[in-house]
Structure 1
């Protein structure tokens, strides 16, 4: 978790150091170990340093290589053992120095040789080009913006907005991607919430010269790869080996490593595996520390006995955090929005913040989490493959077994997903949008988020129902489902949120279940192996038998935080209602409908009692957008973006770039502006 900032004046003007320093200062939280800087003529790099791995000791970036190559890196390389002999560098070489040597060996093609969690910026004086590289899953954020005069990039958007040529103008497409997830394409990952800022897409390389900026994909999963083993035991052994490597890569650290531990299958597997690795290789990291959220005894979030079992089995010290004081939307909301740089509020932010605070107080700069285990270890898409093979009785038996393990409600959700997946494979893509429209008409499906204005929804929903353009050519529906989970824009958003939240406390957050090798393995094996006999996540569960305490291994259910989330959000309801009125900024800028907003908020606040927390999610979305607009987009450019006709392209697709911010323009009534037209 370091911070990258760069400026290249494309017109040759000498760099204003004050501009570079101002941008870098916004990322000081990413550099607890100091800042390194390189400035030469029209180019400037700044690196906010956070030392995590032992090889980084004493290193100051940006690094300088042969022939005027300058490189800085945020992240970790996982294939060091392959790279070092191939390049001819000694053990103990830092990851950034390895990346630099890889560029000097393979040139622009160096990125395809790298595996890990990283963002890299590199300038080659001889070739006069600037390269940006983002890891294959998108675990490290990297953003950029270009005008006719300047190219800028940074690990966080706030650094770009500190440059005088980058306006804080909202992008409706990006905002809709956060707030209307189920109605949006999953594959337009370059779009952010700011019109003049692009995200570098995972597994992509960006090459900038004075004349142009182009991006290309440098790596992707092999859609045709399959792996067939002889027995169920062989699959379990293979999973154990790949999973152990995924955990081992992420606990290579110069200091202590923390594990977010719930007592569920995913986080418990990580904690137990990490402890076993550290016992075998004590030098791999400092102390291993468990941190767990604790709910009141006897409630649906009481996981204490599972956590106690792990502590007793391994002697792992586990710090416990009480849940109740930290659930809600209002406390720390502005801090969260500033960190995320998006209208994204998590009602459990207080708990996440406390978890990072405790980890930091123990000296940990790495926090392991079991996130994404649910998504990649089990998907009902394998039933589509069984259906296509004519194994209809097996499909029926497995669906019944899902209900036994997950309960009727969740099993019903999975069944609906199965029907949607079957339709997706048998209905031409061109018919999907009109069929969805007919379904809404016939069934009277409610408009999404009724508090949004018609103008905003017309633009936001114009891509509703459009199938993903990625993930084609896979050998099975199961493999494609795992791939789309890894490539989903929403999940990349969540990864970025975790990265920026952890950065506030000088930490890396690491996801073993998003390890590239592990994902490739899970895609390659037959889908039914994931749920052998119909038991969800049977492969992972059986593979960890003997590693997990018996109580955790046999656990079927999960903690249900709905009641506590609703309780916490209910405590904040009055404050949220005061922020979401007809006088709110979201109404003035045309995002909310003045007549529908108040009643909708009142209804949501009154309905915070069901068994789920859908109403809390909706309140979080509306409140998050209002706060984001206040913090990032309160100038005239916000009104312009909200009411601009829909025919324009994003800045990186235009031949002529606009530059220069327009700040402090009085806000006009949305009704006085052109409503635009809707594109289909």
Structure 2
């Protein structure tokens, strides 16, 4: 666990500013290193500090790194340097050999900064999937960057003006922007991008883009499953390498159970102790997955810890806004997992593996219907639709994702234009129309139609859009803040770049067909994950947990007292009406589609109070609820 920060300042004082930021990042590591050249300083906060300059390496390059490289042996071999060299030094040597092109060669989770003192150039990069956070801002006479957004204010005199456009996306629960933050002058570096700073010239560019699937593929379903299993196993091994303090978060679903099985296999081959799995249970609630957890841990090769979920920890909701200046990790995210991470911390875990990412890459896309129709596979299209649960919903999806994309553009355009004239996309009804117009919210949230591109099917292209989804980066950053509170680093094998690239190269039918999703994973885990879990179709649903978080913050009573209503961003009466409808649906255990956007309204209001109004952090009793 580590953090990086740095300042380029025309007025000097860069070292003191960097030290202030690293001090504010001490929860990520109390050991501090700063390389200072007067107007430039870059620094690292970590549990242990490596040497800043590689022995015998380039004397003009200084590197600070948050993360790890998973293909370090391959890079070291290509460079011709010792394998024992640490990752930061390897990055310096790779930069010296390949210039900026070296970044695309790197595999792993990382955010780093290189100061090239000869060329007076700063180069920073973020990993391809955006697991590690990186924020930056142009200061009045300089540039500042850090692993956490709120510490940038300790490094430079930055404006706290709200970025209404991005906040509007949050209120719509449709985050599209990849580089914007709630602050007008602060940016995040998007995944798979690098940023170069030379004097006053700042350039951001993408260094990696997934390529269309190759023409040559394994011939059979079993070969696909075997190849996928090899990659996923390697992704798990890389994230456990050199660590004895690795646990796994086990929900009872297919994805996390697969990671537990492979982590147990890797640990067993190394002769280590049984892998430790941590599970959250909800006795008496519909989201409880205890029965599936039982199947996974039954053989005794896994050390299992179960923690009973408590009522929403609202203090963590306040923490996100007042401490981190963030816009709300949802109640079914970090606040729900807090007791689990606390248990892992108490057991000495420094890393936990998750099953995150399986849904994104392996669930598939309903645009496969359009692919089937355009290929003339009418029979397969009909079978797919008939095998889906709830035929009425399946027919509606078939029309939207199958027939409509094949309608000629000359017909689509006037229909889309008429739809926009009658109100366009359906925004949450409580967003004030004047605020929506002022922020161009409809245009912000508009996405291009899913059309075939060279080498891509519609379905595969749609899945690949997760790589450019702003919500993905926002979610990763919230999860990072949550785990760092407990001194734990979350690692996600399904977000290994090799796993993602192979998943995108799969035929569409290997992801989903009919009602069956994650087909390649289900076959790959045959004999490793119990069939009761491997073949299950349903998932736990945590609407009641999110609703508990809203109730903690005052529920319906709070709807009429939100500060953003007084600001003219939302209509409190419409919000209250939606809340009542949602409360009724949750009580009946029915689907509550407005719930995520309702949560966003409460979360943005917390941020507004903390940042814009500068209100003191409230105690639970002051908020109108009991802790």
**TM-score between both structures, scaled by the size of structure 2:** 0.89
Aligned to 1:617: 596
Structure 2 CA distance for aligned equivalents of residues 130 and 78 of structure 1: 24
User: Secondary structure of the residue that 2:521 maps to in structure 1?
Assistant: helix
Q: 1:368 to 1:343 in 2, by over 3 A?
A: same
Contact 2:385 2:514 in 1 (8 A): no
**TM-score between both structures, scaled by the size of structure 1:** 0.83
Aligned to 1:660: none
Aligned to 2:621: none
What is the alpha-carbon root mean square deviation over aligned residues?
2.9
Structure 1 CA distance for aligned equivalents of residues 12 and 425 of structure 2: 56
Structure 2 CA distance for aligned equivalents of residues 471 and 327 of structure 1: 44
Structure 2 CA distance for aligned equivalents of residues 162 and 211 of structure 1: 21
Note the alpha carbon deviations across 1:262-301, whole angstroms, 9 max, x for none: 1111100010011111111247xx762101111225x422
Aligned to 2:13: 15
How do residues 179-578 of structure 1 correspond to structure 2 at under 5 angstroms? Answer: 179-182=171-174, 186=176, 188-282=177-271, 288-296=275-283, 299-323=285-309, 325-327=310-312, 330-338=314-322, 341-348=325-332, 349-379=334-364, 380-403=366-389, 408=390, 416-422=396-402, 425-426=405-406, 435-436=415-416, 438-439=418-419, 448-458=427-437, 459=439, 460-467=441-448, 472-531=453-512, 535-566=516-547, 568-569=548-549, 571-572=551-552, 575-578=554-557
User: Secondary structure of the residue that 1:313 maps to in structure 2?
Assistant: coil
Structure 1 CA distance for aligned equivalents of residues 452 and 248 of structure 2: 32
Q: 1:541 to 1:469 in 2, by over 3 A?
A: closer
Structure 1 CA distance for aligned equivalents of residues 33 and 58 of structure 2: 19
Structure 2 residue corresponding to 1:155, chosen from 147, 150, 164: 147
Using the TM superposition, give the Cα deviation of residue 355 of structure 1 relative to its aligned residue in structure 2, in angstroms: 1.8
Structure 2 CA distance for aligned equivalents of residues 67 and 144 of structure 1: 26
Note the alpha carbon deviations across 1:512-532, whole angstroms, 9 max, x for none: 111111111111121112235
Q: 1:519 to 1:470 in 2, by over 3 A?
A: farther
User: Secondary structure of the residue that 1:332 maps to in structure 2?
Assistant: helix
Aligned to 2:158: 166
Structure 2 CA distance for aligned equivalents of residues 365 and 470 of structure 1: 44
Q: 1:418 to 1:128 in 2, by over 3 A?
A: farther
Structure 2 CA distance for aligned equivalents of residues 414 and 74 of structure 1: 45
How do residues 625-664 of structure 1 correspond to structure 2 at under 5 angstroms? Answer: 625-634=604-613
Note the alpha carbon deviations across 1:439-488, whole angstroms, 9 max, x for none: 4777x899522322222211222334341799954421232122112321
Contact 1:112 1:218 in 2 (8 A): yes
Note the alpha carbon deviations across 1:392-448, whole angstroms, 9 max, x for none: 111221223332xxxx2xx76666455434467435779868645634777x89952
Aligned to 2:623: none
Aligned to 2:108: 116
Structure 2 CA distance for aligned equivalents of residues 374 and 35 of structure 1: 38
Contact 1:275 1:314 in 2 (8 A): no
User: Secondary structure of the residue that 1:192 maps to in structure 2?
Assistant: coil
Using the TM superposition, give the Cα deviation of residue 563 of structure 1 relative to its aligned residue in structure 2, in angstroms: 4.2
User: Secondary structure of the residue that 2:183 maps to in structure 1?
Assistant: coil
Using the TM superposition, give the Cα deviation of residue 590 of structure 1 relative to its aligned residue in structure 2, in angstroms: 3.0
Structure 1 CA distance for aligned equivalents of residues 98 and 345 of structure 2: 38
Using the TM superposition, give the Cα deviation of residue 621 of structure 1 relative to its aligned residue in structure 2, in angstroms: 1.2
Q: 1:342 to 1:476 in 2, by over 3 A?
A: same
Contact 2:463 2:504 in 1 (8 A): yes
Structure 2 CA distance for aligned equivalents of residues 569 and 155 of structure 1: 27
Aligned to 2:3: 3
Structure 2: give runs of 5+ residues left out of the alignment. Answer: 616-627
Deviates more, 1:156-165 or 1:595-604: 595-604
User: Secondary structure of the residue that 2:85 maps to in structure 1?
Assistant: coil
User: Secondary structure of the residue that 1:317 maps to in structure 2?
Assistant: strand
Q: 1:287 to 1:160 in 2, by over 3 A?
A: farther
User: Secondary structure of the residue that 2:587 maps to in structure 1?
Assistant: coil
Using the TM superposition, give the Cα deviation of residue 49 of structure 1 relative to its aligned residue in structure 2, in angstroms: 0.7
User: Secondary structure of the residue that 2:428 maps to in structure 1?
Assistant: coil
Structure 2 CA distance for aligned equivalents of residues 252 and 259 of structure 1: 14
Q: 1:413 to 1:358 in 2, by over 3 A?
A: farther
Structure 2 residue corresponding to 1:59, chosen from 42, 46, 50: 50
Contact 2:135 2:146 in 1 (8 A): yes
Structure 1 CA distance for aligned equivalents of residues 444 and 62 of structure 2: 41
User: Secondary structure of the residue that 1:461 maps to in structure 2?
Assistant: helix
Structure 2 residue corresponding to 1:41, chosen from 34, 38, 41: 38
Contact 2:14 2:38 in 1 (8 A): no
Aligned to 1:643: none
Structure 1: give runs of 5+ residues left out of the alignment. Answer: 52-57, 637-680
Task: Kindly tell me the number of residue pairs found equivalent between the two proteins.
Answer: 609
Structure 1 CA distance for aligned equivalents of residues 47 and 399 of structure 2: 47
Aligned to 1:656: none
Structure 1 CA distance for aligned equivalents of residues 584 and 513 of structure 2: 43
Q: 1:170 to 1:415 in 2, by over 3 A?
A: farther
Structure 1 CA distance for aligned equivalents of residues 488 and 303 of structure 2: 20
Using the TM superposition, give the Cα deviation of residue 390 of structure 1 relative to its aligned residue in structure 2, in angstroms: 0.9
Contact 1:136 1:202 in 2 (8 A): yes
Contact 1:122 1:132 in 2 (8 A): yes
Using the TM superposition, give the Cα deviation of residue 120 of structure 1 relative to its aligned residue in structure 2, in angstroms: 0.8
Structure 2 CA distance for aligned equivalents of residues 85 and 446 of structure 1: 53
Q: 1:173 to 1:590 in 2, by over 3 A?
A: same
Aligned to 2:84: 92
Structure 2 CA distance for aligned equivalents of residues 47 and 446 of structure 1: 45
Using the TM superposition, give the Cα deviation of residue 343 of structure 1 relative to its aligned residue in structure 2, in angstroms: 2.3
Structure 1 CA distance for aligned equivalents of residues 360 and 395 of structure 2: 16
Structure 1 CA distance for aligned equivalents of residues 198 and 300 of structure 2: 54
Structure 2 CA distance for aligned equivalents of residues 233 and 392 of structure 1: 26
Q: 1:8 to 1:464 in 2, by over 3 A?
A: closer
